[in-house]
Amino acid sequence: MTSPYFDLSGKTIVITGGSKGLGESMAWALAEAGADLALVSRTQADLDSVSAEIRAATGRHVIGVAADVTKEADIAAMTQRVVAEFGKIDVLINNAGIGGTTPVLDLQEDEWDRYMNLNLKGPVLCSKHIGAEMIKRKQGNIINISSLFATMVARYMAAYGATKSALVSFTRTLALEWARYNIRVNALCPGYFDTPMNHDFWQTKGGMSVIDKIPMQRVGDTKEIKPAILFLCSDANSFMTGTTLFIDGGHSLVG
């Protein structure tokens, strides 16, 4: 039996980047806790597949909405589609993003813009449009998925780190700005996780050298993101806003 603190029955949650990786793991956890979901990404086929699987397994109302979160018109249309479908949006998880490494001397303007548009502009614009709906109801909850690189640095990750640091700053500012509307805004900073995209890397010499730097001496399993996102989405943190929660095996402790 789910604790009433973590029961998400009756909640509608939007997850950007919700069809793959950590976003998909979050979606499963939240549906299992009773939430209805709108999963957002650019590829409708991926969304349809994941949505169907979660619906069949949990019985929850789950839809996929194709949208490019770097385009304000797409975000506005997505917001209205979700409100029309569910009547409200209780929680927004800004998860869509990209990573990578490029030395600053090799960094091209269009690559910099891709990082800024997807990792920073997207969460800002999604918060703007969905937040407007939350303000009407005087309640809401926004979770921005940042990174351990919001506070630590690594060579060749200037663009990625800049966006994730800025996202934490945006989180804190928005939390202060919207507390008067009963809207909580927090950030979740994952470290390295084993996902289908990077699984093979962890078996390489480079991957093992990264693991050596993590105090727990391993990368995270995607199932370990589930309790953290459930906590942030639930009423268990009803007096918490403007906070950054790390889930990284202690990596941010040692840099």
Sign of the alpha-carbon dihedral angle for 72, 73, 78, 79: positive
Asked if 25 contacts 222 with a C-beta cutoff of 8 angstroms, the reply is yes
Catalytic residues, by residue number, are: 160
What average pLDDT is seen over the chain? Answer: 95
Expressed as residue numbers, the domain containing 223 is 4-243
Question: CA angle at residue 230 from 135 to 44, to 5 degrees?
Answer: 75
Mean pLDDT along residues 168-187: 98
Residue 2 pLDDT greater than 60, yes or no:
no
Closest CA to 191 of 166, 220, 228, 162: 220
Per-residue pLDDT, 196: 78
User: Does residue 249 belong to any structural domain of this protein?
Assistant: no
User: Does residue 250 belong to any structural domain of this protein?
Assistant: no
pLDDT in tens, 41-98: 999 999 999 999 999 999 999 999 999 999 999 999 999 999 999 999 999 999 999 9
Domain count, the chain: 1
Per-residue pLDDT, 16: 98
User: Does residue 48 belong to any structural domain of this protein?
Assistant: yes
User: Does residue 49 belong to any structural domain of this protein?
Assistant: yes
User: Does residue 254 belong to any structural domain of this protein?
Assistant: no
**CATH code of residue 40:** 3.40.50.720
Residue 243 pLDDT greater than 90, yes or no:
yes
User: Does residue 252 belong to any structural domain of this protein?
Assistant: no
pLDDT in tens, 107-154: 999 999 999 999 999 999 999 999 999 999 999 999 999 999 999 999
Flag whether the pTM goes above 0.85: yes
User: Does residue 248 belong to any structural domain of this protein?
Assistant: no
Sign of the alpha-carbon dihedral angle for 56, 90, 47, 143: negative
